[in-house]
């Protein structure tokens, strides 16, 4: 086995027990990334120098007999909307130019504190808006199982990097599906944690009431290891919830007697055949394991979640993106005559077309004469959606549903119909509206070779249980393999 193929726990263990050095591990992973990058474009900024320096430090500490932490010397990939002190952070936008944040996102401080080293900043849809990774100012990333297909988005680079084994773990962010959907397109695991569990400090905001950071990895137990480090009350993030403690130690869950719900209204929606097959297979598996399968009704979710989400996400985005004015960050122009001309010139050239159209939509949705009819109405619908889920979780322990109605589409295929693209987030975005945890898990490969994943959703704060159920599913279904074909 090559060093880059190791999962998170084994890589950390190998460094700790001196089977190999942190530098050897980093160089093996970086060489793997370098050989795949021309085909995958999963990274915006590879960080060879920072990573090697970090690995050398870990090796020096090990030589001095120091404890290097649970991730000591393990390379990780971070989505490029997570601030890294002194390392270019772009959110895949031209408008941030060569911006180097003066501080680290809390999630990165926590991983560094646990000994992780940085392999690179991952490609994504600009400001996390999209679901193909095609909205990146740096060009699209590709699916490692078939480079003519999208890796998903917006954390497409993070998912592709883990699937192709640049690193055993990456962080993504999920506002409406951006961890879970690329995880399923690329055949890895991805967790969107309960809102308020993981700090958003230093995460470039898209929709602040929806954004949540989470890990992607090739085993569920690696997600658990990452979560044990990432979950931390952060006074720097007002949405971080204090006074809670969680145990992310892996314990396979006995599924006997667990109540797993399917959503009644979703049964009428069409799924691509391999996804429908996977739903049937996992349902049988759960039944065989003694779980009770039931139905819950989520009528408001099925009917209004997509419009509710996009109204809120665009409204929040338009305020969050006001700060990019050419004065405080990155890209600027020198020849504007006044501030208004300058803002106009910077924002017209600095933002990509999807971001601009969402800013304009958000401006309209929150404009004083329409605000009640759109933005305020959407916040009310959101409350109904959260209540609908809360009620469902009175009778169910988990909800099983698809991540997407389609397997990873061909690059460019979904660009033609924007509304269809938005609607394909139907299965992921309700989870963000209600602040719930959602696990995207690998099921199998379709005949085409593309991976098929499904989603298990839990009640708020049930993330440890959700992952333990995921462990059992992984044992029954098998762990994902590394994407190699042609890479």
- The catalytic site residues sit at 79, 154, 178
Q: Which is nearer to ligand GLN, 204 or 225 (CB)?
A: 204
DSSP, res 375: I
Q: Which of residues 150-189 bind ligand GLN (CB under 6 A)?
A: 154, 174-178
In the complex, least distance from residue 155 CB atom to ligand GLN, rounded to whole angstroms: 7
Q: Which is nearer to ligand GLN, 222 or 425 (CB)?
A: 425
Q: Read out DSSP for 67-89?
A: ---TTTT-EEEEETTB-BTTB--
Q: Tokens 């390392």: give the residue.
A: 87
Q: Which is nearer to ligand GLN, 46 or 172 (CB)?
A: 172
In the complex, least distance from residue 209 CB atom to ligand GLN, rounded to whole angstroms: 13
In the complex, least distance from residue 52 CB atom to ligand GLN, rounded to whole angstroms: 31
Count of Cβ atoms closer than 10 Å to residue 483 Cβ: 24
In the complex, least distance from residue 173 CB atom to ligand GLN, rounded to whole angstroms: 6
* Nearest residue to 98 (alpha-carbon basis) of 110, 107, 89: 89
Helix (H, G, I), strand (E, B) or coil at 44: strand
Q: Which of residues 413-472 bind ligand GLN (CB under 6 A)?
A: 425
Q: Which is nearer to ligand GLN, 12 or 137 (CB)?
A: 137
Helix (H, G, I), strand (E, B) or coil at 380: helix
Helix (H, G, I), strand (E, B) or coil at 207: coil
Helix (H, G, I), strand (E, B) or coil at 224: helix
In the complex, least distance from residue 317 CB atom to ligand GLN, rounded to whole angstroms: 8
Between 214 and 253, how does the x/- string for binding to ligand GLN read (CB under 6 A)? Answer: ----------------------------------------
Q: Read out DSSP for 408-439?
A: PPBTTTTTT-HHHHHHTTTTTHHHHHTT--EE
Count of Cβ atoms closer than 10 Å to residue 426 Cβ: 21
Packing angle of the helix pair 299-320, 377-395 (nearest 10 deg)? 130
Which one among 51, 70, 130, 437 touches ligand GLN, defined by CB under 6 A?
A: 130
Of the candidate spans 50-58, 93-101, 126-134, 472-480, the one that interacts with ligand GLN by CB under 6 A turns out to be 126-134
In the complex, least distance from residue 313 CB atom to ligand GLN, rounded to whole angstroms: 5
Rounded CA-CA distance 381/385 in Å is 6
Of the candidate spans 22-30, 124-132, 214-222, 471-479, the one that interacts with ligand GLN by CB under 6 A turns out to be 124-132
In the complex, least distance from residue 104 CB atom to ligand GLN, rounded to whole angstroms: 21
Q: Which is nearer to ligand GLN, 307 or 479 (CB)?
A: 307
Tokens found for residue 203: 């995460």
Q: Which is nearer to ligand GLN, 174 or 237 (CB)?
A: 174
Which one among 28, 128, 305, 403 touches ligand GLN, defined by CB under 6 A?
A: 128
In the complex, least distance from residue 361 CB atom to ligand GLN, rounded to whole angstroms: 12
How many residues bind ligand GLN (CB under 6 A)? The answer is 13
In the complex, least distance from residue 486 CB atom to ligand GLN, rounded to whole angstroms: 28
Which one among 7, 84, 123, 131 touches ligand GLN, defined by CB under 6 A?
A: 131
Q: Which of residues 265-324 bind ligand GLN (CB under 6 A)?
A: 313
Q: Which is nearer to ligand GLN, 54 or 130 (CB)?
A: 130
* Nearest residue to 170 (alpha-carbon basis) of 110, 113, 121, 114: 121
Pairing of strands 292-296, 438-445: unpaired
Packing angle of the helix pair 22-40, 48-63 (nearest 10 deg)? 160
Between 189 and 208, how does the x/- string for binding to ligand GLN read (CB under 6 A)? Answer: -----------------x--
Packing angle of the helix pair 463-477, 273-288 (nearest 10 deg)? 100
Tokens found for residue 425: 């987030």
List the end-to-end C-alpha distance of the chain, in Å, as a whole number.
17
How far are the Cα atoms of 154, 206, 247, 475 from residue 196, in angstroms, in the given order? 20, 16, 16, 30
Q: Which is nearer to ligand GLN, 206 or 393 (CB)?
A: 206
Q: Where are the beta strands (DSSP E) in 276-422?
A: 292-296, 398-402
Count of Cβ atoms closer than 10 Å to residue 236 Cβ: 12
Contacts of 265 (CB under 8 A, 6+ apart): 297, 298, 299, 301, 302, 303
Q: Which is nearer to ligand GLN, 37 or 174 (CB)?
A: 174
Q: Tokens 């819950």: give the residue.
A: 296
- Which helix (H) or strand (E) segment holds residue 183: the answer is helix 180-186
Between 77 and 116, how does the x/- string for binding to ligand GLN read (CB under 6 A)? Answer: ----------------------------------------
The site for ligand GLN (CB under 6 A) is made up of 128-131, 154, 174-178, 206, 313, 425
């Amino acid at each position: 086995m090559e060093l880059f193929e190791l999962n998170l726990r084994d890589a950390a263990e190998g460094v700790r027990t001196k089977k190999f050095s942190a530098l050897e591990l980093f160089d093996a992973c970086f060489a793997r990334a370098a050989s795949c990058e021309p085909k995958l474009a999963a990274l915006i900024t590879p960080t060879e120098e920072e990573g090697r320096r970090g690995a050398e430090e870990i090796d020096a500490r090990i030589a001095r007999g120091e404890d290097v932490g649970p991730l000591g010397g393990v390379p990780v990939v971070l989505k490029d909307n997570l601030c890294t002190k002194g390392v270019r952070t772009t959110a895949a936008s031209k408008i941030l130019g060569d911006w180097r944040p003066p501080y680290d996102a809390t999630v990165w401080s926590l991983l560094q504190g646990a000994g992780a080293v940085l392999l690179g900043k991952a490609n994504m849809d600009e400001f996390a808006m999209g679901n193909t990774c095609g909205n990146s100012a740096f060009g699209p990333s590709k699916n490692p199982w078939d480079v003519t297909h999208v890796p998903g988005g917006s954390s497409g680079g993070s998912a592709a990097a883990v699937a192709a084994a640049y690193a055993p773990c990456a962080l993504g962010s999920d506002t409406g599906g951006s961890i879970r959907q690329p995880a399923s397109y690329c055949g890895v695991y991805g967790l969107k944690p309960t809102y308020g569990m993981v700090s958003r400090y230093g995460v470039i905001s898209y929709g602040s009431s929806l954004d949540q950071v989470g890990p992607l990895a090739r085993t569920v137990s690696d997600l658990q290891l990452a979560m044990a480090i990432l979950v931390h009350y952060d006074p720097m993030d007002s949405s971080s919830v204090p006074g809670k403690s969680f145990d992310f130690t892996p314990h396979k869950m006995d599924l006997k007697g667990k109540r797993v719900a399917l959503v009644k209204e979703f049964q009428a929606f069409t799924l691509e055949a391999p996804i429908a097959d996977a739903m049937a297979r996992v349902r049988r598996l759960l039944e065989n394991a003694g779980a009770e399968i039931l139905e819950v009704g989520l009528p408001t979710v099925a009917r209004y979640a997509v419009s509710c989400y996009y109204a809120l996400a665009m409204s929040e985005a338009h305020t969050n993106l006001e700060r990019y004015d050419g004065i405080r960050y990155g890209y600027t122009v020198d020849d504007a005559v006044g501030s208004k001309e300058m803002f106009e010139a910077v924002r017209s050239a600095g933002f990509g077309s999807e971001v601009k159209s969402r800013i304009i939509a958000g401006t309209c949705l929150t404009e004083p004469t329409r605000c009640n009819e759109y933005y305020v109405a959407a916040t009310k619908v959101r409350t109904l959606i959260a209540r609908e889920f809360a009620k469902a979780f009175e009778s169910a322990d988990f909800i099983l549903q698809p991540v997407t109605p389609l397997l990873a589409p061909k690059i460019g295929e979904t660009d033609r119909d924007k509304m269809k693209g938005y609607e394909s987030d139907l299965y992921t975005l309700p989870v963000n509206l209600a602040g719930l945890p959602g696990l995207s898990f690998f099921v199998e490969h379709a005949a085409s070779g593309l991976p098929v994943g499904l989603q298990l959703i839990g009640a708020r704060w049930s993330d440890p249980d959700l992952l333990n159920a995921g462990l059992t599913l992984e044992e029954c279904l098998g762990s994902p393999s590394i994407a190699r074909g042609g890479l």
